């Protein structure tokens, strides 16, 4: 993130030795309590009439959110196009873009309308059913990319697993590898 008010850069590197999020009394006390005690304390904490700051939400998250990497010290409240605002009202350029999952910007009017239109019809269908949108999407994407077919996935893990299955199938069918003998090799180092 890059703060647009005054140009202050807050995207400093946060590493394992950076313990700034654990310095609050709330976070330290939560680490020593049971889950039930933490929940009760967090309810009391959230009901206090304290000013809402980035630190308010950082402290609250420390109670019940597992952190698989260090977060920037900003509690994002809303976004619009290339900007996000924190809970204190500061405006930032969003250079992270949800780690590239949000390259179209935040709350894009056309995308928002398409999402609302779809959600008013149906929000989710299993791949066990055909649906009215997948075929159009597949035709568009295969034409764009020059491929014959696609297989939609929700996550990168599913894509990796499917790639391994496809490689094994290719080995069995094209290379004549005996059944259950194909090995997938991954480079290391």
Higher-scoring residue by pLDDT: 128, 15: 128
pLDDT tens-digit series, residues 13-51? 333 333 333 334 444 444 555 666 656 665 665 555 567
Distances (CA, A) of 104 to 85, 100, 139: 17, 9, 21
Q: Residue 11 pLDDT > 80, yes or no?
A: no
The phi, psi pair for 150, rounded to 5°, reads -140, 160
pLDDT value at position 40? 63
How many whole angstroms separate alpha carbon 58 and alpha carbon 64? 11
pLDDT tens-digit series, residues 151-181? 988 888 888 899 999 999 999 999 999 999 9
How many whole angstroms separate alpha carbon 144 and alpha carbon 161? 24
């Amino acid at each position: 993130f890059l703060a647009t008010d005054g140009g202050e850069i807050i995207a400093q590197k946060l590493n394992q030795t950076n313990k700034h999020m654990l310095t609050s009394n709330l976070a330290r006390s939560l680490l020593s309590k049971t889950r039930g005690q933490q929940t009760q304390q967090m309810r009391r904490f959230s009901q206090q009439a304290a000013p809402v700051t980035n630190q308010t939400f950082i402290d609250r998250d420390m109670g019940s959110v597992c952190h698989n990497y260090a977060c920037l010290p900003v509690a994002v409240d809303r976004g619009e196009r290339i900007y996000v605002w924190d809970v204190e009202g500061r405006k930032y350029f969003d250079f992270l873009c949800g780690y590239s999952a949000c390259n179209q910007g935040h709350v894009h009017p056309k995308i928002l309308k398409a999402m609302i239109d779809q959600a008013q019809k149906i929000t989710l269908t299993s791949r066990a059913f055909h649906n009215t949108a997948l075929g159009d999407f597949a035709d568009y994407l295969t034409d764009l990319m020059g491929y014959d077919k696609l297989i939609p996935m929700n996550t990168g893990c599913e894509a990796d697993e499917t790639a391994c299955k496809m490689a094994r199938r290719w080995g069995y069918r094209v290379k004549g590898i005996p059944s259950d003998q194909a090995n997938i090799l991954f480079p290391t180092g």
